[in-house]
Structure 1
Amino acid sequence: MSESTPLIYKDDYEEFSLSKRAKIILSTAGVIVAAATLWLLCVFLPGKFIPEAVPLEAISKVSELGVRLEPLTRTRVEELGLGDWSGVAGAIDQDESEDSEDDDNYAEQLTSRPSKEVPGVERLIMIGDIHGHYSEFMKLLKKLHYNPSKDHVLVLGDFITKGPDSKKVLDFLIENDIDCIMGNHELYVLRYYAQYHSLRAPFFHDNETGTFTSMAMSNSGFNDDPEFLLAKRLVPDQVKYINKCSIIKTLGKVPLHKTKNEGGPRSTEGVAVHAGLRWDLELNDQDPIENLEMRSYIGPFYNKTTDDPFEDNAVSWSKIFNMKQKEKESEDTLAVYYGHDARRSLSLKKFTKGIDTGCDKGEYLTAMVLWNEIGENKKGKKRVLYKEQSVQIKC
């Protein structure tokens, strides 16, 4: 060993050690840091990026509109820019013999309304498939001069998915308390939402029998599905709004008229649904999945449905439905307002009104506006006229 290198013995330096108090402080700090890290990873970050989950409630199969249309004076109709007056007199004269009794029942028509608890509105505005196109939705409402205090808006399903602004559409619908029925894409999103949060699958409530029907989950992969990605981002208020949309909405009396005019003194009961109805079933007996997805009936008996219009023996459901309604001798007819079928675009028949006009494909976004007028026949007798008009904007 070199003489210049000194020997170091154990006794030549002090042994380093922490005091008991220092050890307690460091241990406590370690526990705090670990707890904070755990909270950050398990609570804060998931809460920031994964919205809180809310359990799904039963989806109602049939619900009521909850408002009534107030009969408008001609002056008010003109102020709102509604209708084409050139067709009114012809519509009244055409139905004179069938509805002459109504002339003496005008006062009864105006007074036999629902309870005052049911609010009156000037217009019912039903809008076809918006599909997340917020800007176009706003343009249509602007064209309609939408007044939240005097109009009741009902969106006919598929108001989200596909387009760029589903969450903005949802927030607007929620903030303005806009009415809705469910579309197939809303149901798909709820299904993915339930899967993602390990909740019970969407299920339906039959208002008449009080029974519940669950919907089977899909086992297919969905991590890249846009509807799954949207479902992951939904916050509780948005989920609750979608969940409250019923499958079918009863509308009360709606216009019953030929396509050459916008209405007259005749009316029938109306309903709104996303895709369609079975002609052979009562409303509470309908299959919700069929109501959300059908495009055609399958012949020869037309008591089965398909979403594929090119399937063997498939015939447009609206064609058969109209035929079956016209065959009825009673007044128990039904007019259906629906969306879903952009391939057929605007399809206005006597008993079916299809208003999905392909906004997501760059075509049109359509609203059907309903209102009641105080009119007169050629003898000067007053009666209620049931009117409607379609309004579009280019997408």
Structure 2
Amino acid sequence: MANYFVGDIQGCYDELMQLLSKVDFNPSRDQLWAVGDLVARGPGSLPTLKYFQQLDGAANVSLGNHDLHLMAVHAKVKRANPKDKLEALLDSSEINSLIGWLRHQPLHQELPEHKIIMSHAGVPPQWDLNTLRAESLRVTQALQSADYVENLLTKMYTSGSNQWHLEMGELEKRIYCINALTRMRFLHSDGRLDFECKVSPAECKDPDLTPWFALEGKVNQSHTLVFGHWAAVMGEVSSTRIKALDTGCCWGEYLTLWHLEKDEKITQNKLKKS
């Protein structure tokens, strides 16, 4: 048995299939872990979701911001961006089933025997493991509730929940959790999440901003953190306890798979379309 962690697929289904063939992935034997953003930008969002849904117990997914945005578009809370190439998915007869499956995916995943935690954007440095589990569970439960559109999706884009404090209300905590686990890149010196700067750490000119993974975090003192979301990083982080897997396949770069047991990264270049 092998554990394979894959970076942001974002509809790059053909590249995913090529990558999995390189390692002879077998769902009856192996486990596939996806850091989120299964959909959007690439042309194959529909087959990507169908593939992960049919993997059943061999698939382990943490939701990304594009996955949540798809739910909002499906619920007519947001309009689809033509650049996301979601038409075939939204028009599919299977869309309701696929959205239902997505709603049952968590914001983070754990592999306890290897002390690994996976989330789309990372883990706030100030959170300990108990806080991560509790706040992630709040969002999972809200997504699975019958009134998830009114009580979560319509509120999800509310601003003002970018700094963690225990006096937050329940909704504020949910929004902060979504922002932190699916959108986080840089933090201000006072701990606030920043959503404006999306360049690589080397290109960031604001002295008040620090990449979340460059700060001393509580969770990564004991666990390895696997994340995606930040293509500009291109998998380059200094800590051996941090695995960055978004390498911009949908932007013309490549898709990255991390083989846990061998501590080896395997890549697949973006395929040229005729």
TM-score, normalized by the shorter chain, greater than 0.5: yes
Q: Secondary structure of the residue that 1:172 maps to in structure 2?
A: helix
Contact 1:127 1:156 in 2 (8 A): yes
Match of 2:194 in 1: 306
1:347 corresponds to:
236
Q: Which residue does the alignment assign to 1:334?
A: 223
Shift, 1:236, TM fit: 2.2
Q: How does 1:28-177 map to 2 (within 5 A)?
A: 122-177=1-56
Aligned partners of 1:241 and 1:344: how far apart in 2?
30
Closer, same or farther: CA 228–171 of 1 in aligned 2, 3 Å: closer
Question: 1-side partners of 2:117 and 2:41: how far apart?
Answer: 26
Q: CA deviation at 1:136?
A: 0.5
Structure 1 contact 160–170 (Cα < 8 Å) conserved = yes
- Measured in 1, the distance between the counterparts of 2:98 and 2:15 equals 20
Compared with structure 1, are the counterparts of its residues 224 and 165 closer, same or farther at alpha carbon in structure 2 (3 Å cutoff)?
Answer: closer
**1:389 is the counterpart of 2:264:** yes
- Superposed CA deviations along residues 18-55 of structure 1, whole A, max 9, x for unmatched, are xxxxxxxxxxxxxxxxxxxxxxxxxxxxxxxxxxxxxx
Deviation at 1:311, TM superposition (A): 8.2
Residue aligning to 1:274: 120
Task: Report if the CA contact (8 A) 1:325-1:351 is conserved.
Answer: no
Q: Is the 8 A contact 2:46 2:89 kept in 1?
A: no
In structure 2, how many angstroms separate the alpha carbons of the residues matched to 1:242 and 1:308?
27
Match of 1:356? 246
Which residue of structure 1 aligns with residue 61 of structure 2? 180
| Residue identity matched to 2:122 | G
> Using the alignment, how far apart are the partners of 2:34 and 2:248 within structure 1?
15
Mapped contact 2:42–2:84 kept (Cα < 8 A)? no
Q: Runs of 5+ in structure 1 lacking a partner?
A: 1-121, 196-216, 255-268, 372-386
Is the partner of 2:40 in helix, strand or coil?
Answer: coil
Match of 2:169 in 1: none
Aligned residues: 214
Give SS of 2:72's match: helix
Q: Which residue of 2 aligns with 1:249?
A: 109
- 8 Å CA contact retained: 2:39, 2:48: yes
Matched residue of 2:112: which SS? strand
Deviation digits for residues 93-134 of structure 1, max 9, x if unmatched? xxxxxxxxxxxxxxxxxxxxxxxxxxxxx1111100111111
TM-score, normalised to structure 2's length? 0.71
Separation (CA, whole Å) in 2 of partners of 1:295 and 1:230: 30
Q: Greater CA radius of gyration, 1 or 2?
A: 1
Residue 317 (str. 1) matches residue 212 (str. 2): yes
Give the number of the structure whose residues are more often strand, by fraction: 1
**AA partner of residue 192 (structure 1):** V
Residue 232 in 1 paired to residue 90 in 2? yes
344 and 223 in structure 1: CA distance in 2 versus 1, 3 angstrom threshold:
closer
- Matched letter for residue 183 of structure 1: G
Q: Unmatched 5+ residue regions in structure 2?
A: 137-176, 198-203
CA distance in 2, matches of 1:304, 1:351: 23
Taking structure 1 as reference, are residues 335 and 164 closer, same or farther at Cα in structure 2, changes over 3 Å only? same
Q: Which amino acid aligns with 1:317?
A: W
State the Cα deviation string for residues 234-256 of structure 1 (Å, max 9, x = none): 522211222121101111133xx
Specify whether residues 181 and 223 from structure 1 end up closer, same or farther in structure 2 by C-alpha distance, changes over 3 A only: closer
Contact 1:136/1:393 (CA < 8 Å) preserved in 2?
yes
TM-score, structure 1 as length reference: 0.50
